[in-house]
Amino acid sequence: MSVVRITAYRFLSISLLLAYSMTHLSAQSAASPEYEIKAVFLFNFSQFVQWPAHSFPAEQAPLVIGILGEDPFGSYLKETVLGEKVNGHPILVQHYNTVEEIKTCHILYINLPETRLDQVVESLKGHNTLTVSDAPYFLQHGGMIRFFTRNNKIQLKINLEPSKEANLVISSKLLRLAEIYSPVKNN
């Protein structure tokens, strides 16, 4: 094959791959690329956090990823976890309008105004729920994992105290990727 044919072949292959990717992504969801990445993070949290056995009502009960408030993920989160299992538990995505609707939820993405965070976090105490949000002061309100952006990259900040209180064990692999939040204590 000549160099021109190889170059044209590569260009055509790359063009078809890009066209397929763009069509596939737009068919998947209306979520922004930022929330597509965050959806993958939520799925990955299910693999790097251990829940107490009693947090699953049955051996084959689903691991529930919940969204409290407006859903920024479109269909992407459901498509990301479709057919996936963690330790024999299928993954199920649930949507909640109020914290009172939550019965069993293992990972809860909270998308509510900052003024409601104290009430939500307080009502989840005693549950084995990993709480996640983008809210700037989420960790100060007792949340566990906060997404933030630095240098155009999504980063994590983890508040270990509430996760310990919820009897959740966060893998050291996940902790190495995150900043650890240390609350300032007043003496």
Mean pLDDT of successive 10-residue stretches along the chain, which has 187 residues: 38 33 42 92 97 92 97 96 96 96 96 92 94 96 96 96 97 96 69
Beta strands in 37-112 (DSSP E): 49-50, 63-69, 85-86, 89-96, 107-111
pLDDT, position 49: 98
Please give the class, per CATH, of domain 31-180: alpha beta
pLDDT, position 140: 95
pLDDT, position 51: 97
pLDDT, position 78: 97
pTM score of the predicted model = 0.82
pLDDT, position 185: 60
pLDDT, position 163: 96
- How far is 3 from 8, CA to CA, in rounded Å? 8
pLDDT, position 30: 61
Provide the 10 A C-beta neighbour count for residue 132: 25
Run of H or E including 12: helix 3-28
Domain ranges of the chain: 1-30, 31-180
